[in-house]
Chains A and B, each alone.
Chain A
């Protein structure tokens, strides 16, 4: 079904075919180059930043230097806590809301659903001025909770899970109720297990979003004990700090490493999850 290889192509076109093929690989190479270059800088001594020598000595010094130059261990811990708290809260809150939309009829259902979908467009970071003020009022500035709270009820998650719940046959629902399960029981025993792949997909999207998120955490945190990796990296690599490029590369790769490794190991699932999350 590819448009690249329709079966009726003539042999005479083989030259253009080759050009096309080379073009594809060049594009691929171009796209990966920045990362390969970053890896090159990170694993070689600084004098090889712009000198390419296949036999350049390998070193881990840049990683060690980056690790000891800033409290990255703490930043890793903070990010880990942040994404876990957000993920668990999102699963619970979005599941409950999605269940209400998928299986109940109530007044104003459509209007409320539209109001929720508004968040797809107006992400919490767009309203950062007011949200900061709210956090001040709640006394939550510079806490993990403040970083996570605005994202816990996610329109994207509610939408995704609602779609999944809608495909669950009503008969299964009824059968469970006949056996005496209450609303929550039915939800936990019928709906949630059937939507497992959607939870995986949503979880991956959510984790990578919040691992990478910078602006809101940058605004709401101001101490080492709460800063996530992204903010820590931003503080560490500010141009006026005069840190060496090879060390910055090492730090940048280090902060992305868990995601990077997870992606390389589970490439298929990752891509499929993003695809699932994207299909309406």
Chain B
């Protein structure tokens, strides 16, 4: 190989990577770093440039009731929706993977909410939650319940969003479980049956452990989504009433684009990034070692 062609072949991978690297750096890595830097400054306003204030933004965050509410709501939202959505999605996958009649229809009904835009289904669900008139109140009226202002009262606003979230996401995770179930050899079920193992035992000792990598993958994705998806908050409650349903990203969006306090929004974004980093740490760090499969 001549010197020139060797140089060429060394340059090739870098040239191939160039477009992706430039774009990723511009919209992921550099903004992540500048977010970190800006969180130590004030928001520049008019003629007043940004001023270094150290950890002041973070200090005011700790004293900010809306931030604390958003953080708490997001934790409740994640803890409430993620396990339920995962459990349901596993159940759905098992149903759809069985020999039940009308499998294709069931699969469609489980998966359909996933394909549709959150904004579209949130608008439809907005009607379901209408006090007195909507679907939920109509059904509950049959059982003697009076009308409830589902999205308008602090106790029910967040759970209402969570219900929609579970309905929307479960079918998506079902697909991953379905793929994993189809990889399990049928001879395992036969062997378990020959040994007289109960179905529950077979599920608990064989299927569930084999699905562990999928569960881990789904868990991390579900957690990330619970901090990333706020379309339904925008449509249904706008964080209200009285911040009872504010989620972290929604608060960031509001701070940045309604109050134009970009420095404070940067500090808030750092909290979101820390949460996301923690979730992927689950994947790469702790759980990966405990998941055993062949």
Contacts and interface: CB of A to CB of B under 8 A. Distances in A.
Interface of A: 1-9, 21, 24-25, 27-29, 31-32, 34-35, 37-38, 41, 49-50, 92-94, 96-97, 99-100, 104-106, 109, 112, 115-116, 118-134, 149-150, 152-153, 155, 158, 183, 208, 211-212, 214-215, 218-219, 229-230, 233-234, 237, 239, 245, 248-249, 251-253, 255-256, 259-260, 263-264, 267, 270-271, 274-276, 278-280
B127 A116 contact: no
- Among A3, A155, A218, the one with the most B-chain Cβ atoms within 10 Å of its Cβ is A3
B110 A28 contact: yes
Contacts of A150: 23, 27
A270 B231 CA distance: 24
B29 interface: yes
A127 B27 contact: yes
Interface string B73-96: 000000000000000000110110
Interface in B1-36: 10, 12-14, 16-17, 19-24, 26-32, 34-35
Given A126-B269, A255-B117, A259-B115, A2 B127 contact: no
Interface of B: 10, 12-14, 16-17, 19-24, 26-32, 34-35, 38, 91-92, 94-95, 97-100, 102, 104-113, 115-121, 123-128, 130, 133, 135, 138, 167, 170-172, 175-176, 178-179, 181, 184-186, 188-190, 192-194, 196, 199, 202-203, 207, 217, 224, 228, 230-231, 234-235, 249, 252-253, 256-257, 262, 265-266, 269, 272-273, 276-277, 279-280
A245 B27 contact: no
B184 A1 contact: yes
Contact of B16 (A97, A126, A130): A97
**Closest A-B pairs by Cβ, 3 of them:** A130-B31, A4-B98, A2-B98
Contacts of A130: 30-32, 34-35, 38, 266, 269
A131 B31 contact: yes
B interface SS class: helix
Contact of A256 (B29, B91, B102, B117): B117
B123 A248 contact: yes
A interface SS class: helix
B28 A122 contact: yes
A154 to B, nearest CB: 9
Given A35-B112, A116-B20, A131-B27, A215 B273 contact: no
Given A28-B102, A29-B109, A129-B265, 16 more contacts: A2-B94, A3-B189, A4-B199, A31-B171, A34-B135, A34-B167, A92-B19, A93-B19, A100-B16, A122-B273, A123-B228, A126-B276, A130-B35, A134-B26, A249-B127, A271-B107
Given A6-B192, A128-B253, A211 B17 contact: no
Contact of A38 (B23, B124, B133, B280): B124
B93 to A, nearest CB: 10
Given A31-B113, A126-B228, A274-B175, A3 B207 contact: yes
Given A127-B269, A215-B230, A256-B120, A263 B19 contact: no
Contact of A121 (B97, B98, B113, B276): B276
A261 B92 CA distance: 23
